[in-house]
Amino acid sequence: MDKCLLHVCCAPCSIAVIDELKNDYDLTVYFYNPNIYPEQEYLKRKAEVVRVCNEWKIPMIDADYETQNWEECTKGLENEPEGGKRCLNCFAMRLNKAGEYAKQNNFDIFATTLTSGRNKKADVIHPLGFKIAEKFGLKFLDIDWKTEGRQEKGRKMVKDRGIYRQDYCGCRFSIENRTQNSNIIRRGGQNHNLKP
Ligand code: SF4
């Protein structure tokens, strides 16, 4: 069975992915998300990933909370819209770290749950994954986790377990987006819960 390192961003995005991949691979979860702000939120999201991994006894690597590195890789891009250049650097930084770990620890393949996110496009994330895979001599698993009913399955699994679901992507700039979105929604008189 191939060894697969799965970069995960949060429990809601990863639970259905882990459930699927654990049957096909010798799976290890890799949590590297120094984009998440503030630290309390980072710890909360990480604790939920730990809970999911414990359910199926999947090993989890808890990588460092290198906020300084994230600040450096997104410097000058503070005013970019969500989905713009700042996000591209943010994805690349996290995937590169996962690829590096996978290479150093003899994994065959690496993957990421990032494409589970509502605003995370596979045609942006997959080319990054392939480039990093090539750099480290790995294979990249290019599945768009939004497809084939996986989102619905994940939502049900999250609800059944009472897993915490955040309402912003992760960084401090995306918190501001949440506030703006909430204002727009309040004016419209509806109460949707925006999800990353
Ligand atoms: S909005 Fe999300 S993907 Fe974009 S920089 Fe912030 S945390 Fe990263």
The number of distinct structural domains making up the chain is: 1
Cα of 169 from ligand 1 centre, angstroms: 6
Q: What is the pTM of this model?
A: 0.91
The answer to whether residue 177 sits within a structural domain is no
Q: Which domain holds residue 76?
A: 3-165
The answer to whether residue 187 sits within a structural domain is no
Measure the CA–CA gap between 140 and 133, rounded to whole angstroms.
Answer: 6
CA-nearest residue for atom 3, ligand 1, is: 87
Q: Per residue in 81-136, pLDDT tens?
A: 988 999 999 999 999 999 999 999 999 999 999 999 888 999 999 999 999 999 99
The answer to whether residue 20 sits within a structural domain is yes
Q: Which of 36, 72, 90 to mutate to test the pocket of ligand 1 (most atoms within 8 A of CB)?
A: 90
The answer to whether residue 67 sits within a structural domain is yes
CATH of the domain at 121: 3.40.50.620
Q: What is the edge-to-edge ordering of all strands in the sheet holding 60-62?
A: 60-62, 26-31, 3-8, 109-112, 139-140
Q: What are phi and psi of 140, to 5 degrees?
A: -120, 135
Q: What is the pLDDT of residue 196?
A: 43
The answer to whether residue 174 sits within a structural domain is no
- Residues of the chain scoring pLDDT < 70: 179-196
Instruction: Using only the alpha carbons of the chain, give its radius of gyration.
Output: 16
CA-nearest residue for atom 2, ligand 1, is: 169
